[in-house]
C-alpha cells in the first residue's frame, strides 16, 4: 500500500489560544500532515475594539494567506489553509475566492456535521464578536442545503479571560456551566478552537452530541485532500 501523504498545511490564527487545539487535532487525526503556524494576535484585539470587520483586517488576511502559499518548506508548497478564528468569516471567504487550494473556515466542517444531527442547534463561544457571525454562517449553510434550522447561541462569560490567565480549570468549568443554558438542542457546537479543551467537561454537562471545531476541521481537510489526490490519479 502507498504511504500516507505528508502535505504542507498552513494554520492561520488570530488568537494564540487556538494554536495548541489545532495542533492537538492534527496529532489525533492526521499526524502525517506537515503543519506550520502563522499568528497575528492583534487581529482579534482590533476586531473587538472596532466592533466590525474593517478593510484593513480583510487585507491582513490576504497578506497572511499570500505568505503561507508563496514560500515552500519541508513538504513542498502549501497544499491547504485552515483558519482557526471564528469571527472573520468574510475575510476567510475572500481568501477562498482567490486561491485554488482548499481553504477552510474554522467552523464549516462542524456545521456540516451538525446539520446531520438535527434542526435545533447550539453554538457556544467565549469570544463575543464570533457569536452573531457564526449564527449567520450556520443559517446560511442550512439555507444553501434547503434546510431550516433554529440556532441558539451563548457566550461563556469570563472563560476566555480565565484561559488567557492560565486558569484552564475555570475556563472549562465556565464553558460547561454555559452549556447548560441552551435548553433543548439536537447538538452543541463549541464554536472556537480554544473551546475544544473543554469538550469532555461540556459532554458531562449535557446529554446531546458535542462537536469541536478543530477535530471536525482536520478530518474534513484530510478528506478533501485525499479526494483531490484520487481525482488527480484518475485523470493521469
Q: Tell me the pLDDT tens digit for each residue of 50-69.
A: 988 999 999 999 999 999 99
Does residue 160 share a domain with residue 68?
Answer: no
Mean pLDDT score of the chain: 92
Does residue 131 share a domain with residue 72?
Answer: no
Does residue 90 share a domain with residue 54?
Answer: yes
**What's the pLDDT at 62?**
96
CATH number for the domain that contains residue 183: 3.40.50.1860
Q: How far is CA 175 from CA 15, 65, 125, 213, in A?
A: 18, 31, 8, 15
Does residue 219 share a domain with residue 187?
Answer: no
- In this predicted structure, the answer to whether residue 99 has a pLDDT above a threshold of 80 is yes
Does residue 229 share a domain with residue 158?
Answer: no
Whether 74 maps to a domain, the answer reads: yes
Label residue 1 by pLDDT band (50, 70, 90).
very low
- 180 phi and psi angles, rounded to 5 deg: -80, -10
- In this predicted structure, the answer to whether residue 160 has a pLDDT above a threshold of 90 is yes
Question: What are the cell numbers at 198?
Answer: 473543554
188-208 tens-digit pLDDT: 999 999 999 999 999 999 999
- Give 10's Cβ-side CA count (13 Å radius): 27
Q: How far is CA 231 from CA 105, 127, 179, 235, in A?
A: 23, 39, 41, 6
**What's the pLDDT at 73?**
77
Determine what percent of the chain is predicted with pLDDT higher than 70.
94
* Count of the separate structural domains present in the chain: 2
pTM, rounded to two decimals = 0.89
Does residue 71 share a domain with residue 57?
Answer: yes
Give the three-class secondary structure for 79: strand
Rounded Cα gap, residues 138 and 104, in angstroms: 14
Among 40, 33, 78, 45, CA closest to 61: 40
CA dihedral 70, 91, 118, 121 (to 10 degrees): 130
Mean pLDDT for 100-127 is 96
**What's the pLDDT at 71?**
81
80-98 tens-digit pLDDT: 999 998 889 899 999 999 9
Amino acid at each position: 500500500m502507498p504511504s500516507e501523504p505528508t502535505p504542507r498545511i498552513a494554520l492561520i490564527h488570530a488568537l494564540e489560544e487556538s494554536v495548541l487545539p489545532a495542533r492537538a487535532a492534527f496529532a489525533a487525526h492526521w499526524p502525517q500532515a506537515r503543519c506550520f503556524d502563522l499568528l497575528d494576535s492583534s487581529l482579534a484585539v482590533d476586531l473587538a475594539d472596532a466592533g466590525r470587520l474593517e478593510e484593513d483586517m480583510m487585507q491582513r488576511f490576504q497578506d497572511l494567506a499570500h505568505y503561507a502559499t508563496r514560500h515552500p518548506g519541508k513538504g513542498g508548497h502549501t497544499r491547504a489553509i485552515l483558519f482557526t478564528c471564528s469571527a472573520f468569516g468574510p475575510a476567510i471567504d475572500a481568501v477562498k475566492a482567490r486561491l485554488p487550494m482548499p481553504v477552510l473556515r474554522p467552523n464549516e466542517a462542524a456545521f456540516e456535521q451538525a446539520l446531520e444531527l438535527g434542526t435545533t442547534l447550539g453554538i457556544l463561544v467565549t469570544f463575543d464578536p464570533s457569536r452573531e457571525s457564526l449564527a449567520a454562517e450556520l443559517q446560511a449553510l442550512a439555507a444553501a442545503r434547503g434546510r431550516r434550522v433554529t440556532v441558539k447561541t451563548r457566550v461563556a462569560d469570563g472563560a476566555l479571560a480565565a484561559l488567557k490567565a492560565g486558569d484552564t480549570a475555570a475556563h472549562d468549568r465556565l464553558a460547561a456551566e454555559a452549556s447548560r443554558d441552551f435548553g433543548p438542542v439536537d447538538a452543541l457546537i463549541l464554536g472556537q478552537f480554544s473551546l475544544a479543551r473543554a469538550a469532555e467537561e461540556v459532554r458531562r454537562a449535557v446529554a446531546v452530541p458535542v462537536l469541536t471545531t478543530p477535530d471536525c476541521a482536520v478530518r474534513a481537510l484530510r478528506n478533501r485532500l485525499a479526494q483531490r489526490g484520487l481525482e488527480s490519479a484518475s485523470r493521469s
